[in-house]
């Protein structure tokens, strides 16, 4: 429901950021249905999997480096607060997701009510790290009060599309997302992290038979 409500905001001729993950897939499908009905857009995917899906559904894609701004992006989140602070990166695409969000005029997050929290931190914070620096970063996040582990997938170290590893960090409750974001940005070897602060304009939350909008 949230995905369809968000997809209805897309206008003819827009450049549209296409999110990654199980929730964002609903939005890609909803946008594709509008494209098949005549909507003309150009899409910018946030992952290879989204690119493949969008192409298969008939959405025309363009290179992000060919545009200065993206009109609207629809993406999911692992957690969000009423203040539009987010944790993203559970699917491992946080770097491209944040680049797309940073270039987007209208970032719309879609989620169900289970993702709504008072304080971020129940979901471990993904931090994308250059492999060479993984041990150093683990030490540095510990100094910030976090307990980090290198993400594994099917018994092997998870590798991102950009060739990096992800450290999932348990910070318990994150009372100062902006401050923690800045501290993480200051660690050498950290490529990006999943705290999205000041990037979303709206969260559309499906709850029961309604869609509640946070602005």
pLDDT at position 186 is 98
Provide the b/e sequence for 150-164 (b: ≥16 CB within 10 Å): bbeeeeeeeebeeeb
- Measured in degrees and rounded to the nearest 5, phi and psi for residue 124 equal -65, 140
Catalytic residue among 97, 107, 128, 192: 97
User: Distances in Å between the alpha carbon of 97 and those of 100, 113, 154, 211?
Assistant: 5, 21, 24, 23
At 177-213, the pLDDT tens digits run 999 999 999 999 999 999 999 999 999 999 989 999 9
pLDDT in tens, 104-134: 999 999 999 999 999 999 999 999 999 999 9
- Tens of pLDDT, residue by residue over 6-37, are 999 999 999 999 999 999 999 999 999 999 99
Q: In the predicted model, what is the mean pLDDT of residues 143-161?
A: 98
pLDDT for 142: 98
Burial of residue 214 (number of CB atoms within 10 Å: 0-12, 13-18, 19+):
middle
Domains of the chain: 2-117+197-214 (3.40.50.1360), 125-193 (3.30.70.260)
pLDDT, position 45: 98
Q: What is the pLDDT averaged over residues 150-179?
A: 98
pLDDT in the model for residue 43: 98
Report the percentage of the chain scoring pLDDT > 70. 100
Judge if pTM exceeds 0.95. Answer: yes
Per-residue pLDDT of 85-110, as tens digits, reads 999 999 999 999 999 999 999 999 99
- C-alpha 10/C-alpha 17 separation (Å) is 10
Output the average pLDDT for the chain.
Answer: 98
Note if 97 is an active site residue. yes
């Amino acid at each position: 429901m949230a995905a369809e409500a968000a997809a209805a905001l897309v206008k003819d001729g827009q450049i549209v950021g296409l999110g990654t993950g199980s929730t964002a897939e609903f939005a890609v499908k909803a946008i594709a249905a509008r494209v098949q009905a005549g909507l003309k857009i150009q899409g910018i995917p946030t992952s290879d999997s989204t690119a493949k899906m969008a192409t298969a559904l008939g959405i025309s894609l363009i290179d992000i480096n060919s545009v200065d701004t993206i009109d609207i992006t629809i993406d999911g989140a692992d957690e969000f607060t009423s203040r539009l602070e987010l944790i993203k990166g559970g699917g491992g695409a946080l770097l491209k997701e944040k680049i797309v969000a940073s270039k987007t005029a209208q970032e719309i997050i879609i989620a169900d009510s289970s993702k709504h929290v008072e304080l971020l931190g129940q979901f471990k914070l993904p931090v994308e790290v250059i492999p060479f620096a993984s041990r150093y970063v683990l030490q540095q996040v510990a100094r910030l009060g976090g307990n980090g582990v290198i993400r594994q997938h099917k018994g092997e170290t998870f590798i991102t599309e950009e060739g990096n590893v992800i450290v999932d960090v348990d910070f318990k409750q994150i009372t100062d997302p902006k401050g923690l974001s800045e501290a993480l940005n200051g660690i050498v070897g950290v490529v990006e992290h999943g705290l999205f602060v000041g990037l979303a304009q709206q969260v559309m939350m499906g709850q029961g038979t309604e869609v509640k909008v946070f602005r």
